[in-house]
Each structure stands twice: as C-alpha cells, then as structure tokens.
Amino acid sequence: MKIKIEGLDCPNCAKALEQNINKLESVQYAQINFLKGYIEFNSHDDKKAVDEIVQLTKKLEPNARIILEKGKKNNKKMLLDMFLLFFGLVLGVCCLFVSMPAWLFWVMFSLSALCLGYKTFYKALALLLKGTINENLLVTISVVGATAIGEHMEALMVIALYSIGKLLENMAINKSKRSIEKLTNFKPEYAVVIDGEKEIKVEPKEIKLDDIIIVRPGERIAVDGVVVEGSASLDLQSLTGESLPVLTKTDEQVLSGAIVLDGVLKIRVLKEYEDSTVNKIINLIETASDKKSKTETFISKITKWYTLGVILLAVIVLGIVFAITKNFDTALYRGLIFLVISCPCAFAISVPLTYFSGLGNASKNGILIKGSNYLDACAKLNLVAFDKTGTLTTGDFEIVKIQSLNEQYTQQDILFLAGLGEQYSLHPLAKTIASANSTNLQQIDNFKEVAGEGVYFEYENNNYFVGKRTKNLEGTVVELFKNDGKLGHIVLQDKIKDAAAHAINALKKQNVNTVMLTGDNKSVAQHVAQHVKIDEVNANLLPQQKYEWLRNKLSQKNNIVGFVGDGLNDAPSLTLANVGFCMGLKGNSASIEASDIVIANDNIQKIPQAIEISKYTRKIVWQNILFSALIKITFLTLGAIGITGMLSAVIADVGVTVLAILNSLRALTHKTKHKIYHEHTHTHSHHEHECCCHHHECKHE
C-alpha cells in the first residue's frame, strides 16, 4: 500500500521516521520516498497500520501530514512557521538589544528560541527517546551549549539561520518536486466510450478490450488502440520527447497518453489501461528512484552513523582545544562550531535530488532509465553492441527478388507457397512475405516453427519448409523446399535507419566503441556497417552466441558494455549487459522488463543522448559532494583554530546546502548538446511484429 506524506523537511528525518515505522507491529516492511513524498508499506491489516503510521508521524514529525484523500494542500502550517519565525526574531532582537531585568530577558530569550526552533527541539527529543539521533540533536546541543557559555546572540542566530535554511531547502525541494511531477502529469483522467448511440464517460481502468472510444481535440488518449475512424495530429512530447506533432489516420496504432491536437478519432481498444503505454511509463518513472547508485547508497548508509560520529569528533575537538588553551568555554564553543558545520543535509539532500533530476530530464526526452544505478553505469559505457534489425535498421523488409529453380513453379507460386507457412509466424520477414500475397492464403497442416531454422508444414499431402538451409547465400534469403527439394528462394532487404549513422558518429565522439551483433549473413551485415560506419561486425550469430560474446567482453577488465535490442530473444543479452537498452515501448514485454533503459520512441539517437545526460548528472553529483566537503572541512579547520565563529559556521552550512540543491536542479533543466536528427520519411514500426526467435538469415531478428 502507498500513502502520501507532506511536510517532511529533510531526508534524515524521513529515514528516522521510516526506521520507527518499521518497528510497528502492524507493519511488515515500510519505505519512505522523501523526494516523491510517499510511504509504501506491507501489512496484514492496512487500516490498523495506517492509523499507527499517522499517530507515529504526529509524534515524530509534527509538521508532516499523512494525506489519505485527494484534496487541496494545507499551507496553514507553513504560514504558522513563517509567523513564528518572524515573531521569534523580533523577540530575540528585543531581548538582546533592549535593557531589561534578568528575569524578563530569560523569558523573552526562551520564547524567542522556542518560536525559532520548536520543531527542531521537539524532533531532537522525540527521536532521541526512540533511540535515533540526527542533525536536529546537533543543532539543539549547539543552541543549549552556546546559551550555557553566555553566547546568547549566537545561540539565537544558530537556530534562526537553521530554521530559515530549512524553509529555503523546502522551497527548493518543492520546486524540484513540482518540476518532476509535470513529467508524470500525463495520466488520462477519463475516456469516452461509445455504447451504441450513447457516449459514456468512464475512468481509464474501466475500459475493456475492443471497446470503441472517441477522442476529441485537447483530450488524451486513455489506452493503446487502433484508429477505426478519423485522422488527427498527435502531441507525443510527454511520451517520447518528440516536439513535432505526428499525423495519424485510420488503421494506424496510437499510444495512450498522446494528446489529440485536431480532428476526432474513434479508436478500438487493443490494451487495457494496466498494459497500456502511459501506465508503463508512469510505473517506470515512479519506481526509478528505488534502484539507487553506489554513490547514493553510500551517502544513505554513512548518514545513518554520521551524527553519532560528529558528536564524538566534537568531544575530541573540545578535549584537544581544552588541553591546549586550558579554557573550557573556548573549547566548548569550538566543539559546538564542529556540530553546526557538520550537519549532513548538503550530502543527504543534494545527491538523491541530483539523480532524481537526471532521471526526470531523461524521461522528459523519452529515455526511461529504471534507476540511478543504471544512470551511473550509462555514464561509464565504453562499448555498445547493437542488434541489427529494428535498431540499426527499420525492421521493415521489402521483397527485392523471387527466384524459381523449378520450371513448373512461377515466381507467384513460390511466393504463395512460402506465404502459406509464413502466415502463422510473427517474424518480420514472415509478415512481409505473407502480406505480399495477392491471393488468399489457405489452411495448412502440422505447422511447426523451429528457432534459428524456419517453419515446417504440410499442404496437399506434401511436406514444405520455409527458412534457411543453404550456407553462404548473399543477402537476406528465405528458401522454399518441397519434400527436401529446393523450389526457389526469396531475397529481401531491410531499410537502414537514416538516423543510425548520426547515432554511431555521436557515440564515437563520446569515446564509445560500437559493434554489430547480427544473425544475418556477413555480406548484409557489412553493407549496413559500412553505411553507418560501425567499428566492428559479428555476423551469423544465434541468440546464444550473442550472449556468449557479451559475456566474454564483460569478463575483460575495464569493459562497461551496453546492448541495444528489441526482440524476445534479446532479453538474455539485455539482462547480461551492464546497461540494456530496449528500443521502443511497443517492443516485446520481456525485452522491456529485461532492459535497464527503455527508448520510448525507438529513436537510436536517444542512446548517445542518454549517455550525455548520465555523464552530466554524475558530474553534478560529484560537484555537490566535493564542494560540500571542501566548505565543511575548511570551516571545521578555521573553527577549530578559532578564526571563524558559530555564525559563520551555520551560514556556511545553510549556504552550501541551498547551493547544492540549486545546483542539483541543473540536471533537470540541462539541454543536451547532441542534436536529434529527425527522419524525413514515415516508416511503419517493426515492433508490431512481436519478434520471436525464428529463422532465415537473421535467425532471431
């Protein structure tokens, strides 16, 4: 179950709440997604678990709110925080700069401190009683310690600046959340189903297969289907990153989530909402942050013990300074500086936020990366292997030659007999041959399809085979045998994608080597390779041989290998590679599941674009880590030797956190240098064929 939570102001607080939720008897397992603002949990009694989670959240995070129903956001708490912050500052100025009796000073000072930091103090105590310590305790100790040694102004300024910093952090984080929410804000709210003479407005989940829906200008297509009436321009930007409208007409397939710009479409439903493209994309985006990179996981692990370590180091600093100066107040003051500057917010917020922004930027461009671990791996790729059909080529074959080797059979006879067997196959070559027949294909007996060979069948008491038996034939050739005697063959040709050469060139500029792995024969493979200028060609490979080739490359030192494919039998290779790229959301579902990155619109140029976004995101992650570490180490050193005071330390801490957050957002707005070349001709998607491991020259393609 998943419930929404608002008002969490730091990832460490979220982690502490998560740990305590997992201690509840009614909860089996719980996880808080800080950036997306939800709690996901498993329980035998959901109602009891929700009640206990709500109560625990009120105790540990008084400013957080569990949202169980849709409604307007409650901004009252933020307004109250801002008022108390202002009132606390006024009280603090009065008590510090206006002469008054001691009792009144302490009353106003205490009220000022409580107004400025009541949440911080409360959470520090509540979590400490639960056995958890975090940065709230560091700040609380600093305020109490500064007050104890008479540094009243610094005590108030520490909590004031810390609270102001939290507000700024919240504003920056909320901005990033809103920006990323826009990327997933393309879920269709309704659909209009035609029922006889009536039009019924329903939720997308209520639509059934073969229903007819009508979509008018400005509306989103709710589910995947095929146009049965009408034509219109579609806005696919939220799905594929494609900025130009795409014209669709009768008998063409359309994707859910697309917006109809003009015209009216009547669509026959091919997939229910759960299996539709828009739901796949939303699920991919929502689960992406669950798969974390090593850097993100490391930061998350060290922050668990970070606060305790900082307190111990502060005590050590206090002891060293006291041993040197023999002045306890000075030693305590410098130890408190250590506590203030060591708050881990800059690391704990900026690193996951940067990855989150990078994943959001990629999805905005139609590149669905399933986690920051794959984003990191993508940034390190130095070798990318391509399947040929459907990746470097369109997968749309055309017949260029039909040859009969028996005088009793014409070219049309060869095409007809081959089509009889191919009519039941899902292979792209088979579809081309079957659809090329002008005569109606008849029923056959004992149909059998053998992977890597072809199809066997009986027709009019004769045994036929359509596929590949003869070695070293030039081109992509489908042979026809009758009772083991060859009747003839059909030569086909696959169109090379116009954008393939641009993509390979872009990869070379990124210092990524390229290789083609194909089941097609060497002459066809060499023709494609020369056209796109790929570095290496391996032809005549069965799917398992591609797998072995990848395993061999991965066993070699320093190889980070990507594999690009789309067919059913690409799934093992997609899983094995460091990064598996699946071409298109219409591809085989097994390939989509096995891959690490899905290219939504089947544009091969998105691969170098994915690498560029990944490298840029990773660069910002390390900028934030190194910048934050440098500032903190500098002020720790200066504070320990007495050059800077506590105010400088808290300004540096708040400042570096806000700057790191703002820097993280650059990963969301980054415009890639790699320009996408748009195809000038409209090609029919090869993905309709649900490619299986079949036969012919390409064997699986």
Beta bridge partners, 633, equal none
Residue 452 makes CB contacts below 8 A (sequence gap 6+) with 519, 542, 693, 694, 695, 699, 700
**535 labelled catalytic:** no
The b-or-e profile of 113-131 (16+ CB within 10 A means b, else e) is bebbbbbbbbbbebbeebe
User: By CB neighbour count within 10 A (0-12 exposed, 13-18 middle, 19+ buried), where does 12 fall?
Assistant: buried
The owner of tokens 């001709």 is 681
Tell which residue, 437, 434, 490, has the closest CA to residue 467: 490
Contact 230, 247 (CB under 8 A): no
From the list 9, 81, 211, 387, the catalytic residue is: 387
Which residue, among 472, 492, 469, has the nearest Cα to 480 in the 3D structure? 469
Structure token pair of residue 53 = 């989670």
Whole-angstrom distance, CA of residue 666 vs CA of residue 610: 16
CA dist., res. 424 & res. 456, Å (int): 11
Residue 25: alpha-carbon gap to chain centroid = 33
**CA atoms in the 13 A half-sphere facing the CB of 606:** 26
User: What are the tokens at 562?
Assistant: 């990507």
Handedness of CA 415, 418, 421, 423 (dihedral sign): negative
Looking only at the bridges linking them, the beta strands covering 513-517 and 536-538 are: parallel
Non-local CB neighbours of 117 within 8 Å, separated by 6+ positions: 139, 140, 143, 159, 162, 163
Taking the C-alpha atoms of residue 656 and residue 558, their distance in angstroms, rounded to an integer, is 35
Beta strand pairing call for 445-450 and 454-459: antiparallel
Number of helices (H) and strands (E) in the chain: give both, helices first: 22, 26
- CA distance readout (Å), 164 to 9, 86, 176, 657: 12, 10, 19, 12
- Tokens of residue 662, six digits: 């703002």
Element (H, E) at 200: strand 198-202
DSSP string spanning 204-269?
A: GGG--TT-EEEE-TTPBP-S-EEEEE--EEEE-HHHH---S-EEE-TT-EE-TTPEE-SS-EEEEE
Count of CB atoms within 10 A of residue 392's CB? 28
* Cα gap 36→18, rounded to integer Å: 14
Find the radius of gyration of the CA atoms of the chain.
32
Contact 365, 613 (CB under 8 A): yes
Tokens representing 685 are: 């998607």
Length of the chain in terms of residues written: 701
Q: Are 402 and 415 in contact, with CB atoms under 8 Å apart?
A: yes
Q: Which residues contact 316 (CB under 8 A, 6 or more apart)?
A: none
The residue among 495, 276, 251, 502 whose CA lies nearest residue 394 is 495
DSSP, res 644: S
Q: Which residues are catalytic?
A: 387
